[in-house]
Amino acid sequence: MSDFLLTQVINYGTPLIGLILFLGALGLPIGASVVVIAAGAFGQQGILDIPSAAILGLVGALLGDSLSFSMGYYAKDSVQKRFGQSPAWRSARASFQKRAGLAVFLTRWLITAMAIPTNLIAGSSGYKYTRFIAYDAAGEILWIGLYGGLGYLFGAQWELVYDFMSNFGGLILGLMVFGFGIRQAWSWQEKKKSLSK
């Protein structure tokens, strides 16, 4: 699929990059990160215009993120009906409100696998759209600049960069899941101790 997409990017240019990043922001598994890195390499080779690729890519990503945020927003009443009375949901919602900006920013460029769930949670938890889009834009600009810049810098070896970034992102996600598991186990042990007293 990636080879096909990359061939189409060469054939159709920067508007297709915007479309790919839009669809990727909606959760379609089309390899948006590989396209951004490859676009940087194609820009170095003179195949693509870098400024227009970056702008159209950013617009596509922001539109996709806004749409997935909206899906969460319009589902918030049903989420509230189902989970609103749960102390765990209220606690998670309050915790998310405190750290939502950082979560949105980091999931744009560092932990990209968590971007869609973060968008949906932000929308369904009542997080302000203006804050969401500000952190979203900052993270997407960094993602496009960093990944596209690495593609530009490494040129013909951009596939090695993509492999490294994919593995690095997986490592970060794994460490986060591990840390969350440790935290939950610690919390469970503390509750168990307090109940036994």
Per-residue pLDDT tens digits for 77-131: 887 788 777 787 777 778 888 899 999 999 998 888 889 989 999 999 889 999 9
For the chain, the first-to-last Cα distance in angstroms comes to 58
- DSSP reduced 3-state for 98: helix
CB neighbour list of residue 131: distance below 8 Å, 6 or more residues apart? 100, 101
| 122-166 pLDDT per residue, tens | 999 889 999 999 999 999 999 999 999 999 998 888 887 777 677
Give me the residue spans of the domains in the chain: 2-196
> What gap in Å lies between CA 66 and CA 60, rounded to an integer?
10
